[in-house]
Amino acid sequence: MSKHRDVTQEKPLVQLLLIIAVTLFLGIFLVLPLVIVFVEAFRNGFQTYLAALGDPESLAAIRLTLLVAAIAVPANLIFGVAASWAIAKFEFPGKSVLNTLIDIPFSVSPVISGLIYVLLFGAQGVLGPWLEAHGIKIIFAVPGIVLATMFVTFPFVARELIPLMQQQGTRDEEMALSLGASGFKTFLQVTLPNIKWGLLYGVLLCNARAMGEFGAVSVVSGHIRGLTNTMPLQVEILYNEYAFAAAFAVASLLAMLALLTLVMKSLLEWRYGAELAARKRRP
Amino acid sequence: MTGRRGLLPPVRQASAIPGFGLALGYSLTWLSLIVLVPLAVLVFRALELGPGELWRIIGDDRTRAALRVSFGLSFLAAIVNAFAGLLVAWVLVRYRFPGRRLLDALVDLPFALPTAVAGIALTALYAPNGWLGSLLAPIGVKVAYTQLGIFIALVFIGLPFVVRTLQPVLDDIDHEVEEAAATLGAGRRQTVFQVLLPTIVPAWLTGFALALARAVGEYGSVIFIAGNIPYVSEIAPLLIIIRLEEFNYAGATAIATAMLAISFVLLLIINLLQGWTRRRLGYV
């Protein structure tokens, strides 16, 4: 080895110590919580684990979580595509304001995100009496849960797509249009292939948050067993009843979802990093 | 339309791309329905209460205590995150070692893991009989069901924000700057602390602000480990939920308004600080 040390690096010993410190820190601080979810879930054996997941209330919670995500994610997907189309492909006054407004849900507490819907649709809310007179239930029912979930996951797809589409510009589309393709065909065959990995990336993050959202959903759900409990709420209820193994069993499914999301997210970043403009923008 | 050009900015740049009206119209409508109108209702409700009533509710001892717990601990957690996150980002960006990519991917775990799951997992770990709690108990450190527990949960939830904000900036540092510093006789420590780190201060503040904003509003990962004792370990978002359960909409609205207002002021201050550091560094 040469005696000339790279002047832009720390001494090897310092590097080694820092690497060990960071590995230990992340290991204890991030990995242990993940490990304990599975340890606690299987504490009383595999049979108990399966029984906890097969419980009708837990199954209802799983179904509701899937249903809510199945509505909220496509809704935000459509919004994300429309908003990024307008913002990335056109110049118009107020564009930066619109860009900022889309981000609002990221900076509002989940609990406040739920609260605003209660103030709007709740029994004492602005529209409460009208809804009651017409027999429509939003708060303490599935529609409220869907709305609150949509709110907290609102920016995800748009956040990924806007910078990506801005970076790609309009040349490809203009070429397709000048060759006679219709607007819709241009979008499907030119724009969509260009943004597909960014789109998937946004959907992935949006879905993880939609299925895992707790605070906002907790406010609007009313915790009606078997009816308005999503998986995170079911975890809370089981935990508060000291049914720890069952709580961690349901939690383990959510933890697996988180792991799956991380793996897919990392794969996308490693393989298609160049096609994800928003890479590492925000966790 | 073209006749107005020169006097007023055009409504939009002439473009061959179709779908502007549809895309913008749809976006604005959806944004209004889901985000703007519901938020406006909160503001409207707060205005309806009036400043006197708002102030009376916020001045209540329990509310003040909850706001103090939320903002005080979030601030501490964001400071710890700023330093821990800087170290993590530094090691991940600048060093090459086996397992680096795995660690890098793991940083997002607090973001991917549903908060309720994080909450019960942290509680199980740090409870007096938990893996970490039982190690800390003999030395007299109680984490779960205390303010320290809230702090741990807030550090957990905020870490990715600082790391992910700093990584691209550290990546962008020009090696020539370091070489120049070294050539001019700066020691490594001097180069790092006087040449490299000052350039990342604006991004550092952004990471700090994001971690802070997230911590202030955090609910799921905190309530299990907090103990939720009024005046001691009760966070503001929990008090909002308690007020709602009492059908005290005014109370919930006032606390939410206070939270949003304080967060807004904090973020404004951080923004100004950022502008100031940018100007000092000589780039706008």
Comparing alpha-carbon positions, the chain A residue that sits nearest to B36 is A101
CB atoms near residue A66 (< 10 Å): 12
Which pair of tokens denotes residue B236? 């503001």
**B159, B110 contact by CB (below 8 A):** yes
The pLDDT of residue B279: 82
Q: Of all residues in chain B, what percent carry a pLDDT higher than 90?
A: 74
Interface of B with A in 148-167 (CB under 8 A): 155-156, 159-161, 163-165, 167
**Is there a single domain that holds both residue B40 and residue B150?**
no
Does any CB of chain B come closer than 8 Å to the CB of residue A6? no
Residue in B173, B172, B196 with CA at minimum distance from that of residue B186: B196
Give, for A99, the enclosing helix (H) or strand (E): helix A95-103
The partner residues of B8 in beta bridges, in order of sequence, read B5
**Is there a single domain that holds both residue B102 and residue B196?**
yes
**Is there a single domain that holds both residue B55 and residue B178?**
no
B172 contact partners, CB below 8 Å, separation of at least 6: none
- Chain A residues with beta carbon closer than 8 angstroms to that of B173: none
CB atoms near residue A278 (< 10 Å): 16
Residue type, A212: G
Q: What is the total count of domains within chain B?
A: 2
C-alpha dihedral sign at B42, B43, B48, B54: positive
| Yes or no, beta carbons of B34 and A150 under 8 Å apart | yes
What does the pLDDT average to over B192-220?
92
Distance between CA A109 and CA B6 in Å, rounded?
Answer: 44
**Is there a single domain that holds both residue A221 and residue A104?**
yes
* A27 falls within a domain: yes
Provide the pLDDT confidence category of residue B2 given band limits of 50, 70 and 90.
Answer: very low
Tell me the ipTM for this assembly: 0.92
Q: Of all residues in chain B, what percent carry a pLDDT higher than 70?
A: 94
* Min distance A248 CA to chain B CA atoms (Å): 8
**Is there a single domain that holds both residue B212 and residue B95?**
yes
**B143, B132 contact by CB (below 8 A):** yes
- SS3 state at A170: coil
CB pairs below 8 Å between A and B: how many?
296
* Min distance B226 CA to chain A CA atoms (Å): 14
Which pair of tokens denotes residue B203? 């991004």
* B9 falls within a domain: no
Does any CB of chain B come closer than 8 Å to the CB of residue A258? yes
Count helices and strands (H / E) in chain A.
Answer: 15, 0
**B233, B147 contact by CB (below 8 A):** yes
* A223 falls within a domain: yes
Structural domain span for residue A136: 45-275
| Yes or no, beta carbons of A112 and B109 under 8 Å apart | no
CB atoms near residue B191 (< 10 Å): 21
Structural domain span for residue B117: 61-281
**Is there a single domain that holds both residue A210 and residue A228?**
yes
**Is there a single domain that holds both residue B265 and residue B277?**
yes
**Is there a single domain that holds both residue A18 and residue A105?**
no
Residue in B108, B33, B26, B20 with CA at minimum distance from that of residue A80: B26
* A68 falls within a domain: yes
Output DSSP code: residue A108: S
* B69-114 residue pLDDT tens: 999 999 999 999 999 999 999 999 999 999 999 999 999 999 999 9
* A89 falls within a domain: yes
- Chain A residues with beta carbon closer than 8 angstroms to that of B30: 75, 79, 82
Is the pLDDT at B235 greater than 90, yes or no? yes
- Chain A residues with beta carbon closer than 8 angstroms to that of B160: 283
B122 contact partners, CB below 8 Å, separation of at least 6: A33, B149, B152, B153, B156, B221, B224, B225
Q: What is the CATH number of the domain that holds B96?
A: 1.10.3720.10
Provide the pLDDT confidence category of residue B22 given band limits of 50, 70 and 90.
Answer: very high
Residue in this structure with the two tokens 């907790």, named with its chain if needed: A218
> Burial, A18: exposed, middle or buried (Cβ in 10 Å; 0-12, 13-18, 19+)?
middle
Beta-sheet strands, E only, within chain B:
none
B37 contact partners, CB below 8 Å, separation of at least 6: A120
**Is there a single domain that holds both residue A33 and residue A74?**
no
A115 contact partners, CB below 8 Å, separation of at least 6: A219, B42, B240, B244, B252, B253, B256
pTM of the entire predicted model: 0.92
Distance between CA A81 and CA A102 in Å, rounded?
Answer: 13
* A283 falls within a domain: no
* A32 falls within a domain: yes
**Is there a single domain that holds both residue A101 and residue A26?**
no
* B4 falls within a domain: no
Q: Which residues of chain A have pLDDT under 70?
A: 1-5, 7, 277-283
**Is there a single domain that holds both residue A164 and residue A35?**
no
**Is there a single domain that holds both residue A59 and residue A187?**
yes
Q: What is the CATH number of the domain that holds A105?
A: 1.10.3720.10
The pLDDT of residue B179: 86
* A152-196 residue pLDDT tens: 999 999 999 999 999 888 899 999 999 989 989 999 999 999 999
**Is there a single domain that holds both residue B71 and residue B53?**
no
